[in-house]
């Protein structure tokens, strides 16, 4: 985390690029002058947040971007940001050629009318643990630079975007069956924002309801109805997706990671991680290390 005396960070780095696809790392501290307002987006892309931030797209409702969400951006679009935590907006993005993006939409959402230069009709979608893990592994593979396989990365990006679009189509169908009042959406938005800011801390249900101005029962009922998850599940998933990066980077012990993200013990964290991602954190850590070693050896062959 940045110290108070340091200059705020802002950079948007392309870590992989071909004529078909790109992968980038966006890092903007909350105190940087560029944080509140985005520049026009240069690619048709899907963004995954490493840190929580509120995104206000043009002509759309604001949403909380965090480990639960993938955000869709079309070329030339702009949006505003509102800070949630102290860090700012740290995200990774995956871009594809407009023709390929349109082909995906035509295949997965044929009911959507064509939009010139705007293939993605959604602002964001809640993604599964499998999708979140897939994009992290894809980014880590791209970060190896010249040791990466361009064919594998291009195909991985196309399949990742395809997967996120499928989830968006599924979520759209579910939302059509719900009649949701604006004040209920606002209640869930405020709750998601609070849980994103305090996901590593303990908070009681009464305190949470009081903070967002709701009764306990009403909050429990509305949150689960709209998100499909309880608040405990939502926070647990945030903790695990926050921990995923630390697990793959291998800079801290698994016990330290467990405590840092709010789990009472290493064993509790390990069981929850396996339920979420289908693999033990120690197994994933070894696999990442072996992949890095193989790539390093190949570089010198």
Asked whether residue 300 carries a pLDDT value surpassing 50, the answer given is: no
> What does the mean pLDDT of the chain come to?
92
- Asked if 255 and 217 count as a contact pair (C-beta separation under 8 A), the reply is no
CATH architecture of 182-299: Orthogonal Bundle (1.10)
For the record, the structure tokens of 11 come out as: 């950079």
Mean pLDDT on 104-124? 84
147 C-beta neighbours (distance < 10 Å), count:
15
pLDDT at 176: 86
pTM higher than 0.85 for the full model? yes
3-state secondary structure of 26: strand
**Length of the chain as a residue count:** 301
The residues spanned by each domain of the chain are 10-176, 182-299
pLDDT at 301: 46
DSSP string, 258-273: HHHTT-S-HHHHHHHH
For the record, the structure tokens of 260 come out as: 């840092």
Q: What percent of the chain has pLDDT over 90?
A: 81
- Would you say the CATH fold of 182-299 matches that of 10-176? no
- CATH for 10-176, among 3.90.1010.10, 2.120.10.80, 3.40.190.10, 2.60.120.280? 2.60.120.280
Which residue matches tokens 């102290």? 86
């Amino acid at each position: 985390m940045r110290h108070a005396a340091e200059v705020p960070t802002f950079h948007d780095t392309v870590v992989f690029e071909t004529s078909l696809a790109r992968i980038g790392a966006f890092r903007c501290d909350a105190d940087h002058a560029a944080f509140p307002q985005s520049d026009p987006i240069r690619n048709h892309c899907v963004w995954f947040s490493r840190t929580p931030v509120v995104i206000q797209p043009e002509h759309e409702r604001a949403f909380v971007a965090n480990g639960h969400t993938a955000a869709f951006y079309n070329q030339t679009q702009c949006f505003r940001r509102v800070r949630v935590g102290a860090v700012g907006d740290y995200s990774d993005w995956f871009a594809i050629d407009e023709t390929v993006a349109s082909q995906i939409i035509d295949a997965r959402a044929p009911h959507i009318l064509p939009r010139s230069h705007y293939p993605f009709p959604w602002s964001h979608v809640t993604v599964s643990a499998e999708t979140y893990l897939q994009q992290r592994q894809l980014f880590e593979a791209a970060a190896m630079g010249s040791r990466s396989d361009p064919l594998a990365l291009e195909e991985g990006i196309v399949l990742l975007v395809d997967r996120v679009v499928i989830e968006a189509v599924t979520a759209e169908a579910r939302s059509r069956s719900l009649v949701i009042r604006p004040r209920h959406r606002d209640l869930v938005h405020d709750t998601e924002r609070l849980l994103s800011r305090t996901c590593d801390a303990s908070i009681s249900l009464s305190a949470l309801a009081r903070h967002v101005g709701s009764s306990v029962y009403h909050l429990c009922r509305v949150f689960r109805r709209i998100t499909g998850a309880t608040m405990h599940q939502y926070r647990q998933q945030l903790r695990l997706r926050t921990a995923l990066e630390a697990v793959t980077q291998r800079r801290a012990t698994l016990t330290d990671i467990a405590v840092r993200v709010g789990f009472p013990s290493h064993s509790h964290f390990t069981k929850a991680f396996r339920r979420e991602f289908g693999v033990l954190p120690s197994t994933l850590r070894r696999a990442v290390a072996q992949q890095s070693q193989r790539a390093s050896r190949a570089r010198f062959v």
